């Protein structure tokens, strides 16, 4: 690979909602009311950074409303750097259009300036620079009865294998909305966590491992987390409309010996015109609204607690989801009974031996040279 120095950014789960489209849902954990201001605040910072490109891994809109998609694609065209998107579950609620939202079939046409060249295909590949390729996947599928499902279909997996086989020694950045690696303990089987994952993640992972892919960018969970499995790092970025309103800036550069180094920095939108102290307001908002979710989380943990104990612990977890969302948290609830304390400590940013490992927000990693693709 020739010498490379690129700077790019990731902003996820923008959930853009123009004022006239906002649906008031009392249980909603994220603040779509602030979506445009939060995105504009992030863009104001990114405009100063001389970016090579911006990645948006899905949930671009509140709920797939045509007005919100139109506003966003027009806004993206005004940016001085290329933008690449994939659809999230909130962008394509059904295969075909409904009264209130666009259909999955229309998504590529809206974003034909953001990676999509074929109006009929929901995935694509793009050469970002000599030796660096983006593979943008669609993880939104629908069951026969119309339910949404996080999955990569067989045709797309076959296409992916062909693209990776043809990519030779190029470094590959994969982008998809749903998680591929677990970001929470036992996420793939957890009743509350599994819907955030690609349900055939093992199949996809095997293809990525075999081809030597080392980086995958996801969203959907609204949590800042970096997980790894062998040489593959999955960088999931929190939502611009929920605490702590993060986005990331990454530098990819080769040193004199040709080694590639990736530096990841994370930033937060801390204030917007509607809210001078967004960080504190949003943390309290999550505290105020996460009790039902925390109650379910305690119930699902099978800790043999009475209803009174479950309620007390769920109340004590007021800031737990905010801390998870921010990444890099370590938990030690000393006043909880030992099994409960042990269970919640497993959500912390720990290495395999249980020591704190804070890599979710700031991190540097060395990429191995890709030797090409072995057929699966």
Task: List residues near Fe ion by CB under 5 A.
Answer: 13, 59, 88-89, 220
Element holding 238 (H helix, E strand)? none
Kindly state the smallest distance separating residue 177's Cβ from Fe ion, in Å: 6
Closer residue to Fe ion in complex, CB, 59/360:
59
Kindly state the smallest distance separating residue 18's Cβ from Fe ion, in Å: 17
Closer residue to Fe ion in complex, CB, 88/131:
88
Closer residue to Fe ion in complex, CB, 220/248:
220
Closer residue to Fe ion in complex, CB, 151/220:
220
Task: Report phi then psi at 247, rounded to 5.
Answer: -150, 165
Strands (E), the chain: 5-10, 53-56, 83-85, 124-129, 132-136, 140-142, 148-150, 171-175, 215-218, 225-229, 232-236, 246-254, 260-268, 363-367
CB atoms within 10 A of CB 130: 10
Kindly state the smallest distance separating residue 149's Cβ from Fe ion, in Å: 12
Closer residue to Fe ion in complex, CB, 150/348:
150
Which residues fall within 8 angstroms of residue 44, CB to CB, at 6 or more apart?
A: none
**How many angstroms separate the CA atoms of 104 and 177, rounded?**
14
Kindly state the smallest distance separating residue 57's Cβ from Fe ion, in Å: 9
Contacts of 159-162 spanning 24+ positions with Cβ under 8 A: 159/123, 160/123, 160/135, 160/204, 160/207, 161/207, 161/211, 161/376
Kindly state the smallest distance separating residue 358's Cβ from Fe ion, in Å: 24
Kindly state the smallest distance separating residue 219's Cβ from Fe ion, in Å: 6
Closer residue to Fe ion in complex, CB, 151/370:
151
């Amino acid at each position: 690979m020739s010498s490379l120095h690129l700077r790019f950014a990731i902003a996820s789960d923008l959930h853009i909602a123009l004022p006239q489209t906002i649906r008031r849902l009392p249980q909603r954990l994220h603040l779509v009311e602030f979506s445009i201001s939060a995105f504009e605040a992030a863009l104001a910072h990114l405009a100063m950074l001389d970016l090579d490109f911006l990645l948006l891994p899905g949930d671009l809109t509140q709920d797939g409303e045509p007005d919100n998609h139109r506003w966003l694609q027009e806004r993206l065209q005004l940016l001085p750097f290329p933008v690449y998107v994939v659809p999230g579950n909130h962008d394509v609620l059904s295969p075909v259009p409904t009264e209130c939202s666009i259909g999955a079939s229309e998504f590529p046409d809206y974003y034909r300036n953001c990676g999509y060249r074929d109006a009929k295909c929901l995935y694509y590949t793009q050469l970002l620079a000599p030796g660096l390729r983006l593979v943008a996947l669609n993880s939104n599928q629908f069951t026969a009865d119309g339910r949404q499902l996080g999955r990569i279909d067989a045709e797309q997996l076959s296409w992916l294998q062909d693209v990776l086989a043809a990519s030779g020694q190029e470094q590959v950045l994969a982008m998809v909305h749903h998680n591929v690696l677990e970001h929470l303990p036992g996420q793939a089987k957890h009743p509350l966590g599994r819907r955030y994952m690609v349900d055939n993640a093992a199949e996809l992972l095997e293809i990525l491992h075999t081809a030597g892919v080392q980086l995958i960018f996801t969203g959907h969970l609204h949590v800042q987390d970096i997980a790894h499995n062998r040489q593959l790092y999955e960088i999931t970025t929190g939502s611009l409309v929920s605490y702590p309103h993060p986005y990331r800036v990454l530098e990819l550069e080769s040193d004199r010996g040709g080694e590639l180094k990736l530096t990841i920095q994370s930033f937060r939108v801390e204030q917007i015109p509607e809210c001078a102290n967004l960080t504190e307001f949003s943390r309290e908002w999550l505290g105020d609204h996460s009790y039902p979710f925390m109650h379910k989380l305690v119930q699902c943990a099978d800790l043999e607690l009475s209803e009174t104990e479950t309620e007390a612990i769920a109340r004590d977890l007021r800031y737990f989801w905010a801390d998870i969302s921010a990444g890099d948290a370590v938990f030690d609830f000393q006043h909880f009974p030992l099994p409960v304390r042990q269970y919640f400590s497993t959500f912390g940013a720990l290495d395999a031996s249980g020591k704190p490992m804070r890599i979710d927000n700031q991190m540097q990693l060395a990429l191995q040279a890709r030797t090409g693709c072995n057929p699966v």
